[in-house]
Amino acid sequence: HIGSQEVDRKVDSVCPFCGVGCLLTYNVKDEVIVSVDGRDGPANHDRLCVKGRFGFDYAHHPQRLTKPLIRKAGVPKDADAIGDPADWSSVFREATWEEALELAGGKLRQLRDTHGHKTLAGFGSAKGSNEEAYLFQKLVRTGFGSNNVDHCTRLCHASSVAALLEGVGSGAVSNQVGDVENAGLILVIGSNPTANHPVAATWMKNAAKRGTKIVLADPRVTDIGRYAWRTLQFRPDTDVALLNAMIHTVIDEGLVDADFLTRRASNYEALKANVQGYSAEAMAPICGIPAETIREVAREFATSKGSMILWGMGVSQHVHGTDNARCLIALVSVTGQIGKPGSGLHPLRGQNNVQGASDAGLIPMMLPNYQRVDDPGVHAWFENFWETPLDDKPGYTVVEIMHKALAPDSDPHKIRGMYIMGENPAMSDPDLNHARHALASLDHLVVQDIFMTETAWYADVVLPASAWPEKTGTVTNTDRMIQMGRRALNPPGDAKPDLWIIQQIAARMGLPWNYQGPECGVAEVYEEMRQAMSAVIEGVTWERIEREQSVTYPCLSEDDPGQPTVFIDAFATNDGRVKLVPADIIPADERPDTEYPFVLITGRQLEHWHTGSMTRRASVLDAIEPIATASMNGGDLRKLGLDAGDVITVKSRRGEVALTVRRDDGTPTGAVFIPFAYYEAAANLLTNAALDPFGKIPEFKYCAVDVRPGGTP
Ligand code: SF4
């Protein structure tokens, strides 16, 4: 260990992993990050979790891509193309930047000009900066000529955002995580914050120690349950039943906030009529929670000094994910638990910049700041702002793009070429055999990344990009705080900043961009984005972020401190009222049966991040969690004649994986939990691509599988 006093330089930045947005300092010696310290940021106050503190040496990993690569002539693409990331030489050859960019951009341009604007698509990244996200979506919209641009928000909170935009008029959180200290009750639903938002979880635990009541509602009982006042381990897929029963109880027991509903809500009578059939007594056998417990929790939620809901993928990743979130909006509304400190709605955003990338317009139906592409006024404003004609039809989403890549040649919307920056759909998409087949079928695929990811094996051109500590840019955390990451290192070899690469591709698509200034013109790009999003970040100048480290939006002038709590007087909807939307039970797309009797739940774990491309190359994290595991409870292990540490094979209708099983009695009976970070046992080989109809998010949290002892991991 090299003490922080002995380093060559210290560079202030922000953690590249989760949406909590912990501020940190990189300690650099001899051009190597040797340690990381937490800083006193508003989201972390010096704290870091194991990923932020120890997960930094991926940037120095020998498998970093350092040269542009071009697929060798005659090497076919097939769905099983994934090889050893340390040895790509049988498939790719090194190239100069000029040659690689000419091929990458030139072929995209040729496909567009030959087959039309709908033939290309781009996946940007929630791991990059706001400026990269903004420029990437601008490239797709103005250069590719369509709205076929998306990113991993589609796989995480798209359904939450759909419900929030519909209900409260804004897709971001109403209250910040730190506000839990003002809450009387915290409802944590469909979230494992200790693993996925670890520093945020510490604020929840601190609040619990001071008397705040935590209610954990989740089919899996996770670590935060140790601090819970009540734990509602409801049956997987019964969220709407449970939440409607809570709303019914609030109405039935006369606990509604009538004044709030009169002044600030619409459609209450329809909601009230809809929950008539959802009494706690009727729903108890469905969700597996005693009626009296449902009523007790609903009462406490309604009457506490402030009740706040924090939720994660357990709510959103269902075919009824939007309905789940609608129920959460309805619950805070009937109880008046929104628009004041210690209350409200907080969808815990996963990636470090999934909030910012979504805000910047990296989604197919929205321009920056969630302005719909098919709104004539918005469309005209952006055509004028970008001085180019724009498509006014929403583009395809992540999973839809994969389907369109496999469309027949006669389909004018068949996706033939893609540009993927910093995303790994060959690991993160549902039903991976289908997704990999789709990637392999593209005429032209450009992948921009720091490692030879699973997705890069399907590429025609691989462009070596920069890791987070190698570039400067802003990110927006789950709390709506815009914060700055600063360059601490130079990229290795010939690797380049992503912002530079996007601009080079744009030039080869014929776009006359000219961003000036240091760090590839990042401040100038930010300033353009600020103009496009002036309704929320007018007061957040580049200089201000540099000076203050963290600025919360909405922030409408340079002396506006930002608004940590929103909807105090009005919601962001057209009429200023929260719109209550009734929801009914919609079953999961694929239920267990005799052939596939278990439920598969996928998710993350503390030490590894998403598809593992960074954390599995971070030596400390990989040492702690080196192998793929599945979790099952002790009762199920006994029934199958298994011990912890045995190998099992988990099989669905779409694929199978073999991996080691561990005992976790928080996993419900009849279910198996698998993290999706492990390429050697990719959980998404098993998952179902069925979509929520509103958010278009796949049902990662529920599909039917069989579990058998044995197999070869
Ligand atoms: Fe990084 Fe999230 Fe951990 Fe903070 S809680 S150090 S942002 S991974």
Q: What is the pLDDT of residue 178?
A: 97
- For ligand 1, residues with CB inside 6 Å are 15, 17-18, 20-22, 44, 48-49, 51-52, 197-199
Question: Ligand 1: distance of its center to the CA of 479 in Å?
Answer: 13
Judge whether 690 and 470 are in contact, CB under 8 Å: no
- List the residue whose alpha carbon is closest to atom 3 of ligand 1: 49
Q: Tens of pLDDT along 233-290?
A: 999 999 999 999 999 999 999 999 999 999 999 999 999 999 999 999 999 999 999 9
Binning pLDDT at 50, 70 and 90, where does residue 63 land?
very high
Q: Tens of pLDDT along 683-700?
A: 999 999 999 999 999 999
Question: Ligand 1: distance of its center to the CA of 480 in Å?
Answer: 16
ipTM for the predicted complex comes to 1.00
Place of tokens 């019964």: 238
Q: What is the pLDDT of residue 270?
A: 98
- List the residue whose alpha carbon is closest to atom 2 of ligand 1: 18
Question: Ligand 1: distance of its center to the CA of 51 in Å?
Answer: 6
The DSSP bridge partners found for residue 38 are 24
**Of all atoms in ligand 1, which is nearest to the CA of residue 20?**
7
**Of all atoms in ligand 1, which is nearest to the CA of residue 49?**
3
In the predicted model, what is the mean pLDDT of residues 584-588? 97
Question: Ligand 1: distance of its center to the CA of 300 in Å?
Answer: 31
Question: Ligand 1: distance of its center to the CA of 355 in Å?
Answer: 15
Question: Ligand 1: distance of its center to the CA of 359 in Å?
Answer: 21
In the predicted model, what is the mean pLDDT of residues 362-384? 97
Question: Ligand 1: distance of its center to the CA of 190 in Å?
Answer: 19
In the predicted model, what is the mean pLDDT of residues 148-152? 95
**Of all atoms in ligand 1, which is nearest to the CA of residue 16?**
1
Q: Which of 199, 223, 615, 620 to mutate to test the pocket of ligand 1 (most atoms within 8 A of CB)?
A: 199
Q: Tens of pLDDT along 382-422?
A: 999 999 999 999 999 999 999 999 999 999 999 999 999 99
**Of all atoms in ligand 1, which is nearest to the CA of residue 21?**
7
pTM of the prediction?
0.96
**Of all atoms in ligand 1, which is nearest to the CA of residue 477?**
7
Q: Which of 46, 49, 348 to mutate to test the pocket of ligand 1 (most atoms within 8 A of CB)?
A: 49
Q: What is the pLDDT of residue 5?
A: 65
Question: Ligand 1: distance of its center to the CA of 476 in Å?
Answer: 13
At 343, is the secondary structure helix, strand, or coil?
coil
At 551, is the secondary structure helix, strand, or coil?
strand
CA distances from 297 to 232, 243, 249, 302, 322 (A): 9, 11, 10, 9, 23
The answer on pLDDT for 81 being more than 90 is no
Q: What is the pLDDT of residue 6?
A: 87
Question: Ligand 1: distance of its center to the CA of 132 in Å?
Answer: 21
Q: Which residue spans within 430-510 are E strands per DSSP?
A: 444-449, 461-464, 473-476, 481-485
Q: How far apart are CA 341 and CA 344, in angstroms?
A: 8
**Of all atoms in ligand 1, which is nearest to the CA of residue 44?**
4
Q: How far apart are CA 391 and CA 513, in angstroms?
A: 19
In the predicted model, what is the mean pLDDT of residues 530-543? 97
**Of all atoms in ligand 1, which is nearest to the CA of residue 24?**
6
In the predicted model, what is the mean pLDDT of residues 642-651? 98
Which residues fall within 8 angstroms of residue 16, CB to CB, at 6 or more apart? 127, 352, 467, 468, 469, 485, 614
- List the residue whose alpha carbon is closest to atom 4 of ligand 1: 22
Which residues fall within 8 angstroms of residue 56, CB to CB, at 6 or more apart? 26, 33, 36, 469, 618
Q: What is the pLDDT of residue 2?
A: 53
Question: Ligand 1: distance of its center to the CA of 74 in Å?
Answer: 44
Which residues fall within 8 angstroms of residue 281, CB to CB, at 6 or more apart? 291
Question: Ligand 1: distance of its center to the CA of 601 in Å?
Answer: 23
Q: Which of 14, 17, 477 to mutate to test the pocket of ligand 1 (most atoms within 8 A of CB)?
A: 17
Q: Tens of pLDDT along 552-571?
A: 999 999 999 999 999 999 99
CB atoms within 10 A of CB 296: 16
